[in-house]
Each structure stands twice: as C-alpha cells, then as structure tokens.
Structure 1
C-alpha cells in the first residue's frame, strides 16, 4: 500500500516540485500525495487555513506522514502545541521544511519563532534550503537540518524576453506584507520599470507598469528582459523569486535580512543592500550592472536527486509510523 503524505500545502509550486509527476517512475507509485482539503467551495484553490494542521483532521488517520512547508502562522501557541501532541500520540511522523526563519507575512516574529521551535522539536526530519539557514537553525534551536537547494521554477523551458533588455526592474505584484511600501525607497532606487498588479491601489501608485496578473510564461519573459531585478523585502529568509531570476540569467539585488545571499548559484550575480534603503539598493544595482550578466549554474545535486530524497524519506518514515501504530 502506498505511503500517504499530507503536504501543507500540496498545491503550492514548491511542494509540487519536490515530488515526481504521476506515473513518472514506478518507484513513485509507493507514494500518494493527498490533495489539499477544500476550505471554501466558492474558492476551491485556497488551501489556507489548512485542515491538516487541526488535530481533528487526524482522527481517522488519513495520512501516514505530515510534511509542513508553510501556512501555520495563524495557529496560536496552544494550538501549535496541541498539533505536536496529536502527532506524537498517534505516531504520525513530521517532516518540516524551514523555508522561513522569519515569516514574511507577519511583522512581529515573537510568536512565529516560538511556533517554529515547537514544530522543530517535534519534527522527525528537518529540511532547509541553504547552509546559512541550517546554521541558524542549529544555533537557535539545537537541531541539524538537511540542506536541499530550491527546486527549479523555470526548468528547461526556453524563455524569450518580451521586450528589449532593460537595466533594472522591480516586481511588486499585489504587495506582500514584507514588501517596502515607502515611495521614497523607489524614488531613490530609480529602477527603469516597477511592475504592480492593478488590483492593489497602494502598489499601483508606486509602479510604472500596472498590469493584470501574468501567467508563468508572461512573467518569465518579463523578468528575462531585465539585467537586474530588485527584491524589495524587509524580512523573510529564502526567495522563489531569486531562484526564478537566476534560472533566467538575471542578477538580483537582495536585502541583507534572511539568507537570500546564500541562495546565489554564482556569488557575483547576487548583491546585498541594506533592507529598506533605496540608495543602497541603487548602489547594489550599479555594481551588478558593472559586472555584467552570469549564466545560471545548476546546483551539484540534481532535481531528480531532490525528488528521490523526499520519496525515500516519506517511505521510510511512513513505514516506521505504520509499524508504531
């Protein structure tokens, strides 16, 4: 019988990228990745708040392994303790990938750090994306984390720029909570293009290019038309945007918070600036433009190795969990 994995969330691009597509290999038939429970029938794609984080979800033992990536910050400390106690009582193995040592969606990190400590203590296996993050986990929580690089986002697709190459761009979308909102930052930065979604008046006011959400191909071609992209963040730890930019051969100016710098495939292609400082971000962009562009260098571990690692881990933990029941 296949090992059933509840991935929180299953529908996010990252968790989807670390498991094989259905039927890709016979070995991957050992796994069943459960779909995210429908939270709202009127919005079926919304997975949050995820039901697998509720102790009641586990009453009938619908999965053999729980793998948490994101989306637990809505829990109280009491609820986080209750989840950990439920998993321990039912012998449900927990895999935790620490994407965010600092949560980009919340301003005060105190409760989030405590939640992370509870889950890290309960986890049967810890994963993170960079050596810098692993060192911080060891220092703060006394646990060793297995380092696996960010999986490919663009992959082997051929991407053509949508218009002639531009020096510096910023993509605000609808404005996550960790994005700089101060107009002075963008005036000091002086980017050639600032993109924002039309559904956010606050972000649109900062933008030179207001648009509807792009599909993947539109987004990739828009990013590929820049020499440098700025990540305008004030907190966070890792970035799928940085990964995406580097796969497209675009250099990145990233803030000095988190572990963004340690995601660099080529150190010269990522320049750090003081978070929230537009003048320093402009200087970082100037340094990157002076160096020229660098082709993306794939990590030494292949994407297939990452997929195999997760499959073997799920099967091992799931089989151990079944025997403990």
Structure 2
C-alpha cells in the first residue's frame, strides 16, 4: 500500500480476536471492538440504526464480518445491509453455528450477508462448495486457517487419546456415555474445566475403566500446547459446526485428530493421514478412529506454516485494497 495514502480502515467484527489479528495485513487499521459489559457482542454495527447515526466522516472503508451475527434476527440483518454505506466482506467460518441447535435462522442470516457481500471468503474447499451450491456464491475465496502456535512444542507423544471438553460449549457432546464408549476402544484422557457446567459429565465419568479424567482450570498456552503435543491423538467431540481452530492447533504440534463427519473438519486438515473421521456422536466409532491414529503415530504438519500465513495475509491485503481503493 502506498505510503502517501492513509491506511485502509476496516471495521472487523470482531477485531481483537486471535484469528482476525493473525490475518490482519500491515498498514490496515482495525477499528476497536466495543465494550459491552466486558464483551464485544452484540456488536451494534449489525443494526441499521448504527450506520444511519454514524457521521460519514467516521465511516470505515470496509465492514468485514467474521462472527457474532447470531445476536440479531434475519430482518435486522436485512435492514443493516440495506443501510450499509461501505463495502461488505464476509468470512464464512460457520456454515452451521456451533452455539445453536436450530440452524434455520443462522442460514437465513448467512444468506442475507453473502448476498450483500462484495467478497465472500471461507476456510476450506468443502465450505466453498456449499456456498456455491446452497447460497449461490459464484466465486468464494478460500483462505486457509493460519497457525495457532508459532512454534510446535517438543514433547514425548503418549499412547493415549485425549479429548478436551473445556466448559462444554453447545456443540460438545455432554453425554458421559459417549466418552465411556471411547474408553471402551482406546485409552483416553478427558480434560474438563472445573465449572458447574461440567459437573454432571464429570460425575458420569468417575471410575470409568481406561479413562483418566483431568479436571483443571483453563489452561494457559504453555500447558495447553504441552498437553496437545503429548497426546497420541485428539478427538473432537463435536455434534455440529464447520471449521475448527482446535484442529489447527493439534496439527501445529503434529497431533492427529479424530473428527466428526459433520461440517468440513476432515477437509480442513493439511493431509488426509492426519485425520480419521467418525459419525458424529458415536463414541465407539470415535474410539476406533482414535485407535487408528494412535497406530499411525504422530503426523508432522505437511506444508510451510510461515509461507501459508504470508499468503493468507496477502489475500486479505489485496481484497481490502481493491475494495477501499476508491474511498481513500
């Protein structure tokens, strides 16, 4: 970008998220997230009123939507795009929203956004195919998910699978039978936050043969990366969703991943050898998938993460510069 022109100003929703910070090009100014009781959501820029009341002198050059639009109705999103005075970029992380059981309104909101978008991005060819076939997006742009860990942790890889349920987000299997069924097929460590949301699951897993329950406070990066790097395989215990930053983190450390057959998880991996797919919600099948991966051993990431990151950042820089060129 030319040094004698001001930086492209992007209202990224959100802005201060690890993914959006990772893909942010140099010389692009992200407007700050709002502080709404300590959160950035529900972001007011998803309302028509926000744009109608905003001084034109304060318009960003581009609105780039990543997440957070589930807080508004499809009609509110329609009103917003009708009032939007700047180009819209949409990155489709979630064809299905992991937080929602009923996806109908999510799909409707997503359709409104991609119909209005000057550019639609997504993370896998699998998701791009859905956007073309189901949403009429003629030319979705595929940009890979960048690395989570800048350097892989060197750890002795164990002979046990691992599942990280954290605080049981909405798309994580909560039924203890799923994890007991995994343990019937393969030795497994289940990592769970020490919070009320996991209490019933933890009680249901007590004294399960072949299963080690690890109850913990949220891990910092160092402890988390060490746990992932030492696992023989990780199981993603998801019932819905599309893409996974957790999968990328596992692959940063060469850990193979058992993935459910929903969404685009399997297609997200750097190499087919790094994943084994199982029917979502089927613990026995998940255990067998993990056992298959354990038998293969660790699978180093295939490709160059540094070069990939440069490509992802460059793709965003080109899109921003193209759309904002006439506004500066």
TM-score, with structure 2 as normaliser: 0.89
| Pairs aligned (count) | 305
Alignment-derived partner of residue 210 in structure 2: none
Runs of at least 5 residues in structure 2 that lack an aligned partner in the other structure: 1-5, 206-212
Change (3 A) 1:13 1:206: farther
Change (3 A) 1:283 1:122: same
- 1:72 CA displacement: 0.3
Change (3 A) 1:203 1:97: farther
Which one of 7, 16, 25 corresponds to residue 12 of structure 2?
7
Alignment-derived partner of residue 154 in structure 1: 149
Which one of 190, 193, 196 corresponds to residue 189 of structure 2?
193
The one-character-per-residue Cα deviations of 1:156-191 (angstroms, maximum 9, x if unpaired) are x24243x76242000011111000011110000015
The one-character-per-residue Cα deviations of 1:213-259 (angstroms, maximum 9, x if unpaired) are 11112111111110100000000000000111011000000000000
Q: Where do 1:197-216 residues align within 5 Å?
A: 197-199=193-195, 200=197, 201-205=199-203, 208-216=213-221
The one-character-per-residue Cα deviations of 1:272-325 (angstroms, maximum 9, x if unpaired) are 0000000111111111112222111126962112112212211221223x27xx
Alignment-derived partner of residue 280 in structure 2: 275
Q: Are 1:261 and 2:266 counterparts?
A: yes
Q: Are 1:225 and 2:230 counterparts?
A: yes
- 1:2 CA displacement: 1.8
Alignment-derived partner of residue 65 in structure 1: 62
Asked whether the 8 Å contact 2:157–2:229 carries over to 1, the reply is no
| Secondary structure in 2 matching 1:153 | coil
Alignment-derived partner of residue 311 in structure 2: 305
Alignment-derived partner of residue 56 in structure 1: 49
Change (3 A) 1:302 1:109: same
Change (3 A) 1:114 1:158: closer
Asked whether the 8 Å contact 1:197–1:203 carries over to 2, the reply is no
Alpha-carbon distance between aligned partners in 2 of 1:245 and 1:32, rounded to the nearest angstrom = 31
Runs of at least 5 residues in structure 1 that lack an aligned partner in the other structure: 21-27
Alignment-derived partner of residue 34 in structure 1: 31
- 1:269 CA displacement: 1.1
Alignment-derived partner of residue 24 in structure 1: none
Alignment-derived partner of residue 107 in structure 2: 113
Change (3 A) 1:169 1:111: same
CA RMSD of aligned residues (A): 1.7
Q: Are 1:244 and 2:226 counterparts?
A: no
Change (3 A) 1:132 1:299: farther
Q: Where do 1:119-134 residues align within 5 Å?
A: 119-134=113-128
| Secondary structure in 2 matching 1:272 | strand
Alpha-carbon distance between aligned partners in 2 of 1:292 and 1:196, rounded to the nearest angstrom = 25
| Secondary structure in 1 matching 2:71 | coil
Alpha-carbon distance between aligned partners in 1 of 2:177 and 2:123, rounded to the nearest angstrom = 32
Moved more, 300-309 or 168-177: 300-309
